[in-house]
Amino acid sequence: SQQGEEDPQALSIQEGENATMNCSYKTSINNLQWYRQNSGRGLVHLILIRSNEREKHSGRLRVTLDTSKKSSSLLITASRAADTASYFCATVLGKNTGNQFYFGTGTSLTVIP
């Protein structure tokens, strides 16, 4: 399965610290996306990075992509209690290799005020 694996499964940090979570996948991708899920709610798109990009920023989010290692990381800087949520990576394969989103198992982030 292409399903990504996030690491760590759970992360607990103090408010103001940075949070880093990682995603590994198995096959070549078109792009990789990160989503956030508040408890029991639907996933919300955060950021997309294309396969030819290495780094992307959006506000306090920084995403890196290393296609040679088939891995990505999401960094949330200066975390806030409101960042408490689960974070999922999703890989998207190209149109000739399966038009699908493949979601990982998620990282549960707790930010302690």
Partner 1 sequence: EAQVTQNPRYLITVTGKKLTVTCSQNMNHEYMSWYRQDPGLGLRQIYYSMNVEVTDKGDVPEGYKVSRKEKRNFPLILESPSPNQTSLYFCASSSVPGLGNTEAFFGQGTRLTVV
Residues that bind partner 1 in the complex, under the rule CB under 8 A: 1, 3, 30-31, 33, 35, 40-45, 48, 50, 88, 90, 92-95, 97-101, 103-106
Instruction: Select 44 or 81, whichever has its Cβ closest to partner 1.
Output: 44
Six-digit token string for 48:
């997309």
Instruction: Select 18 or 38, whichever has its Cβ closest to partner 1.
Output: 38
111 SS3 class: strand
DSSP assignment string, 85-105: EEEEEEEE--TTS---EEE--
Output the smallest distance, CB 8 to partner 1, in A.
13
Cα–Cα nearest to 22, from 105, 79, 85: 105
Output the smallest distance, CB 105 to partner 1, in A.
4
